[in-house]
């Protein structure tokens, strides 16, 4: 289960993107220190990988625009192309690849996300493509274009989704979870025991979110980051993989922005009309906050990890998970959720 290496070819494409994104990050960080001939070699290889990711394909590739495969690969290809365009070793094709990746990634956002940031594949499968390459790509676009690239797009409400969901509990960060892919740690597969997954598949979210969030929501994200994973929270700064630390340094430690309680910019109730997702929060203060979530699954997406039930709800408050997704410690993690395993609102007749 070790991560695919940079030169691995016998893995699914979505498993290869993370290593390539990390090489692109190293390329930017070490550019001045690397010899010119070595830089040119790396730039040429990054452009080659960018072309592969933008085209897609290979073992098990899901080319549906709403699939996390598209979000993962298009964003990775775009990030690699932006990292090397105009540099020795890259060609004029890098600009074209960056533009194609941008269009493909925003098409993914338009198909996979609702009008208030809810992902058709659930919160955890939103985290996978976005922390692998989506958030870094959005931040790279923000820098390359010199402007806020998410306001007015489906990506605008992704940052508020984190702020609405996350609670700092005595056991650590918690999020009311929906979806077929449970958070897990090692061999333990459980939606109940696992509070907020930090593995090589998902970590570093909040510092990355801060780097790509709409300007109006950045103070709320910063408040959440500090209270949940910062010095006032679990102290991890959401760092699990080495690259996570780079985003934390760039977007948190070097930021002069001041946090603000999310109540200043966010409502206490959010409705995603497209997917029928509803989030309610009593306040933003501590582990005694109440968070309630209801998912009507109003627009299920084919060929994705779209949640199969309708009417499921979650309820957290006063440090207790009153209604949660049932544990699957002893179940096959790929088994579908049924109403018998869910919290579902039923209406007689």
Q: DSSP for 178-196?
A: -SSS--EETTEE-TTT-SS
DSSP state of 190: -
Instruction: Give the pLDDT of residue 179.
Output: 64
Angle of the 135-145 helix axis to the 205-212 helix axis, nearest 10: 30
> How far from each other are the two terminal CA atoms of the chain, in whole angstroms?
49
Give the pLDDT confidence of 128-162 residue by residue, as tens digits: 999 999 999 999 999 999 999 999 999 999 999 99
Instruction: Give the pLDDT of residue 178.
Output: 72
Residues 72 and 137: their CA atoms lie apart, in Å, by: 10
With pLDDT > 70 as the criterion, what percentage of the chain qualifies? Answer: 87
Give percent helix, percent strand, percent coil of the chain, each to the nearest 5. 45, 10, 45
Give bridge partners of residue 168 from the DSSP assignment: 173
pLDDT per residue, tens digit, the chain (349 aa), is 456 777 777 788 999 999 999 999 999 999 999 999 999 999 999 999 999 999 999 888 999 999 999 999 999 999 999 999 999 999 999 999 999 999 999 999 999 999 999 998 888 889 999 999 999 999 999 999 999 999 999 999 999 999 999 988 888 888 887 765 454 444 444 444 557 888 888 899 999 999 999 999 999 999 999 999 999 988 999 999 999 999 999 998 777 789 999 999 999 999 999 999 999 999 999 889 999 988 888 888 877 776 656 778 888 888 888 877 665 544 444 445 555 666 776 667 6
Instruction: Give the pLDDT of residue 50.
Output: 97
């Amino acid at each position: 289960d070790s991560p695919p290496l940079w030169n691995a070819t016998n893995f699914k494409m979505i498993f290869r993107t993370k290593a390539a994104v990390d090489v692109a990050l190293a390329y930017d960080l070490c550019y001045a220190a690397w010899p010119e001939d070595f830089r040119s070699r790396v730039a040429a290889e990054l452009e080659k990988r960018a072309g592969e990711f933008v085209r897609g394909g290979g073992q098990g590739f899901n080319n549906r625009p709403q699939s996390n495969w598209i979000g993962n690969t298009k964003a990775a290809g775009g990030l690699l192309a932006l990292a090397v365009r105009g540099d020795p070793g890259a060609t004029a094709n890098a600009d074209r690849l960056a533009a194609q990746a941008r269009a493909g990634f925003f098409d993914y956002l338009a198909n996979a996300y609702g009008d208030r940031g809810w992902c058709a594949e659930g919160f955890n499968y939103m985290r996978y493509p976005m922390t692998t390459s989506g958030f870094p790509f959005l931040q790279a676009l923000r820098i390359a274009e010199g402007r806020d690239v998410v306001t007015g797009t489906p990506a605008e409400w992704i940052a508020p989704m984190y702020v609405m969901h996350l609670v700092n509990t005595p056991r650590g960060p918690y999020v009311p979870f929906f979806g077929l892919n449970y958070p897990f740690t090692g061999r333990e597969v459980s939606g109940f025991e696992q509070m907020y997954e930090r593995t090589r598949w998902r970590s570093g979210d909040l510092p990355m979110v801060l780097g790509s969030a709409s300007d109006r929501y950045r103070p709320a994200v910063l408040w959440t980051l500090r209270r949940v994973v910062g010095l006032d929270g679990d102290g991890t700064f959401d760092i699990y993989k080495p690259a996570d630390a780079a985003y934390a340094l760039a977007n948190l430690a070097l930021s002069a922005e001041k946090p603000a309680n999310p109540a200043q910019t966010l409502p206490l109730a959010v409705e995603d009309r497209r997917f029928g997702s509803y989030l309610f929060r009593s306040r933003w203060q501590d582990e005694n906050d109440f968070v309630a979530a209801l998912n009507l699954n109003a627009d299920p997406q084919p060929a994705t990890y779209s949640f199969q039930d309708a009417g499921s709800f979650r309820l957290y408050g006063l440090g207790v998970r009153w209604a949660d997704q049932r544990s699957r410690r002893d179940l096959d993690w790929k088994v579908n959720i049924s109403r018998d395993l869910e919290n579902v609102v039923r209406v007689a007749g």
